[in-house]
Structure 1
Amino acid sequence: MAKITLGCEPVVGSLTPSKKREYRVTNRLQEGKRPLYAVVFNFVDSRYFNVFATVGGNRVTVYQCLEGGVIAVLQSYVDEDKEESFYTLSWACNTDGTPFIVAGGINGIIRVIDAGNEKIHKSFVGHGDSINEIRTQALKPSLVVSASKDESVRLWNVHTGICILIFAGAGGHRNEVLSVDFHPSDIYRIASCGMDNTVKIWSMKEFWTYVEKSFTWTDLPSKFPTKYVQFPVFIAPVHSNYVDCNRWLGDFILSKSVDNEIVLWEPKMKEQSPGEGSVDILQKYPVPECDIWFIKFSLRFPLQYSSDWE
């Protein structure tokens, strides 16, 4: 009997919402009158598995889930610029294990908050426009990557404050980069997508010496020999409209456009011809009423052992 590969099996269940809910609301909080753009649990440090942070306006707030559905406010940070509007955040950590919150938004400045000492650790200035998403490398959580309206993706070392790599140029995105994600097991690979309707896969393998150098650099961060990575190893025209979210699922990719569906696909790269290859569409998941762009989705933790997304 032939083995059914992931994504080729029939979809189980109904897409019609059930009137009977399998969950219940235990608490509800409201932060002022500004919209919240992101809510992220700390999945990089098991000590804080029940801690999450939110961003909205110029504020970053940290909460903890307690027993009985109680939610406690642990910390709150207000940016000095009242016009700042944070769009995204991610948990990271210093080389000594100190928990960091990394947030960015409309001003294009990335704030690294030391949640252990309750103070700003560093501010990253480099992007020329707003920041749409920040993600942390789970295998090396002192590394974060940012996607920006300035058509670039940047790799940062939160320990030293160095911008290591800039993914942009001749083969880069031709419009806003809306989403970026690290491969869960291949430390060298990232995927990015944006308003040029494409998903691009980049490799850091050739430039990994720069990553290693960023941890031992003792001079000013501005003097670090930041390297431009101009050509992705793969460009995937999976969608015909804006692609506002992509996530790795093993070696497969889940990507979402404004076409009311999330697509699971496999990149078929030609090792001898970077940038070339084909796409094998494995499954399409209908997502009604997602024609409003900039809607994100997440994979259920732990990513390595689960194929659930929500």
Structure 2
Amino acid sequence: MSDSEESVPPLSKKQRVFTQVQNDGSGDEMDEISSTTSTKEEESSRSDTPTLVSRRMGSIGRMKKGWKKCKLQYKCTNFLKEDHGQPIFGIQVNMNVRDGEPVMFATTGCNRVTIYECLDNGKVKVLQAYIDPANDENFYCCAWSYDEVGQPLLAAAGLRGIVRIISPLAMQCIKHFIGHGNAVNELKFHPRDPNLLLSVSKDHTLRIWNIKTDLCVMILGGVDGHRDEVLSADFNIDGSRIVSCGMDHSLKMWKIDTEMFRDAVHASYTYNPAKSNTPFPTVSNHFPDFSTRDIHRNYVDCVKWLGNFVLSKSCENSIICWKPGSLDYTDTNIKASDNTVSILHRFEYRECEIWYMRFCLDYYQKIMALGNQVGKIFVWDLDVEDPTLCRFTKLSHAKCSVAIRQTALSKDGNILLAVTDDGMIWRWDRIK
């Protein structure tokens, strides 16, 4: 792919595959698009999941309920391939846009970060591409924010543990942060302060950076922190808490609406290195406010807040919706020593038993999507009063049969994007 490439034309009418609800009595074909036999290609090094005893027969029986018709229907309108041909591990849509503005998204794979725009009629336009000067870099993740005048900023990181801040307006990397002792697996910006960036790493820690003043505000980890690679983390809607997960099978919650954190953030904005003989005093927090290993039995590779609940997934073919403590517990009376949890619902699917496979939610948390290791996408309708009533649509395409590493939804949920292990980007548009 070259920077001069303007756009990729939409599929012809014969190439498009539309959602069709089939019913021949078997159950497996409901809400599936062009069901074909999938072949599993060689997986990347990020797929070496420990052996897991599968309770496949028991889960299939429970999954039958989900095969009922879902109101969410999508059609495949385009697909394109990045010329490096390596796995694309990350994709993120820029949610910091007004309604009606173009959908812009970024992908991360190999040592490249590429920015695209979704046009009408299924077209996808290449806007910019950045190649890291280090040939051994492999970008795993990215996150969108904006500067003081509202211009977009993009953070990206990966194998080398260096967090890079890219300005699409300046068309270059404007900053980079070095601090993690190993690879960075996920990035998230604070929902209320666009300058605060959360990064999680293979070095067992989480870090919060102030990208405006180039300082590391806080390090989360240590004594009671994660005991292995941290794979994912998320801010809740008001930015008062962080939930994190990793290879140690654990999920941990960290409160950051504390006086210690507020003072550290304030100090990061006012610190002047020219007037100080000492480095900035980065705060360390060794003790999460809640921790559990009772949700999953394997690597926990993706976690997100759903209101006051948590959605987390492992390599066990289910996304679990849960909350700490019993159902009548509130955040104020949960103690760090209490590791009990309440599981509300399991969103089950198939053939997703390798790690670093991440699901997504739309901006309004009404739709959830996840790709599996044989190229199929599960889309759940979360806009229901009772989570047990959630139904899903299964999307597939004859030319997609490898692992879908991550999905991304546009702000309104009308465009679904997916990236795969063979360097492909897939676009699906919602059928009204």
> Scaled by the length of structure 2, what TM-score is found?
0.64
Q: Measure the CA separation in 1 of the matches of 2:332 and 2:319.
A: 25
Using a 3 Å threshold, how does the CA distance of structure 1 residues 210 and 16 change in structure 2: closer, same or farther? farther
Residue 265 of structure 1 deviates from its aligned partner by: 0.3
Contact kept in structure 1, 2:324 and 2:334, CA below 8 Å: no
1:18 aligns to 2:31 (yes or no): yes
Deviation string, structure 1 residues 268-305 (Cα, Å, up to 9, x no partner)? 257373342421100011121111111101111223xx
Which residue does 2:308 correspond to in 1?
251
Q: Which letter maps to 1:134?
A: L
Which residue does 2:323 correspond to in 1?
266
Contact kept in structure 1, 2:204 and 2:226, CA below 8 Å: yes
Residue 201 of structure 1 deviates from its aligned partner by: 0.2
1:128 aligns to 2:170 (yes or no): no
Residue 24 of structure 1 deviates from its aligned partner by: 2.4
Q: Measure the CA separation in 1 of the matches of 2:143 and 2:334.
A: 35
1:225 aligns to 2:297 (yes or no): no
Correspondent of 1:78 among 105, 118, 131? 131
Deviation string, structure 1 residues 1-28 (Cα, Å, up to 9, x no partner)? xxxxxxxxxxxxx775424573322222
Which residue does 2:355 correspond to in 1?
293
Correspondent of 1:176 among 225, 229, 241? 229
1:108 aligns to 2:161 (yes or no): yes
Q: Measure the CA separation in 2 of the matches of 1:108 and 1:20.
A: 39
Deviation string, structure 1 residues 134-165 (Cα, Å, up to 9, x no partner)? 11122222211111000000111121221111
Correspondent of 1:216 among 263, 270, 274? 270
Identity %: 38
Which residue does 1:276 correspond to in 2?
338
1:154 aligns to 2:207 (yes or no): yes
Using a 3 Å threshold, how does the CA distance of structure 1 residues 76 and 275 change in structure 2: closer, same or farther? farther
Higher deviation after alignment, 55-64 or 21-30: 21-30
Contact kept in structure 1, 2:207 and 2:219, CA below 8 Å: yes
Deviation string, structure 1 residues 84-112 (Cα, Å, up to 9, x no partner)? 00001111122332211100000000001
Q: Measure the CA separation in 1 of the matches of 2:166 and 2:151.
A: 10
1:194 aligns to 2:246 (yes or no): yes
Q: Secondary structure at the match of 1:214?
A: helix
Higher deviation after alignment, 147-156 or 233-242: 233-242
Q: Which protein has greater RCO, CA pairs closer than 8 Å, 6+ apart? A: 2
Q: Which letter maps to 2:93?
A: F
Using a 3 Å threshold, how does the CA distance of structure 1 residues 24 and 218 change in structure 2: closer, same or farther? same
Q: Secondary structure at the match of 2:355?
A: coil
Q: Secondary structure at the match of 1:273?
A: coil
Residue 215 of structure 1 deviates from its aligned partner by: 2.5
Which residue does 1:309 correspond to in 2?
368
Deviation string, structure 1 residues 196-243 (Cα, Å, up to 9, x no partner)? 000000011222211122223332799221010100000022111111
In terms of Rg, which structure is larger?
2
Using a 3 Å threshold, how does the CA distance of structure 1 residues 266 and 72 change in structure 2: closer, same or farther? same
Q: Secondary structure at the match of 1:212?
A: helix
Residue 119 of structure 1 deviates from its aligned partner by: 1.7
Contact kept in structure 2, 1:233 and 1:276, CA below 8 Å: no
Q: Which letter maps to 1:226?
A: T
Q: Measure the CA separation in 1 of the matches of 2:361 and 2:32.
A: 25
Which residue does 1:4 correspond to in 2?
none
Using a 3 Å threshold, how does the CA distance of structure 1 residues 280 and 181 change in structure 2: closer, same or farther? same
Which residue does 1:37 correspond to in 2?
89
User: Where do 5+ consecutive residues of structure 2 fail to align?
Assistant: 1-26, 35-72, 326-330, 370-432
Pairs within 5 Å for 1:58-73? 58-73=111-126
Contact kept in structure 2, 1:270 and 1:277, CA below 8 Å: no
Q: Which letter maps to 2:355?
A: W
Correspondent of 1:142 among 178, 181, 195? 195
Residue 78 of structure 1 deviates from its aligned partner by: 0.7
Residue 309 of structure 1 deviates from its aligned partner by: 1.4
Q: Which letter maps to 1:18?
A: D
Q: Measure the CA separation in 1 of the matches of 2:247 and 2:340.
A: 21
CA RMSD of aligned residues (A): 2.0
Contact kept in structure 2, 1:103 and 1:112, CA below 8 Å: yes
Q: Which letter maps to 1:99?
A: P
> Scaled by the length of structure 1, what TM-score is found?
0.89
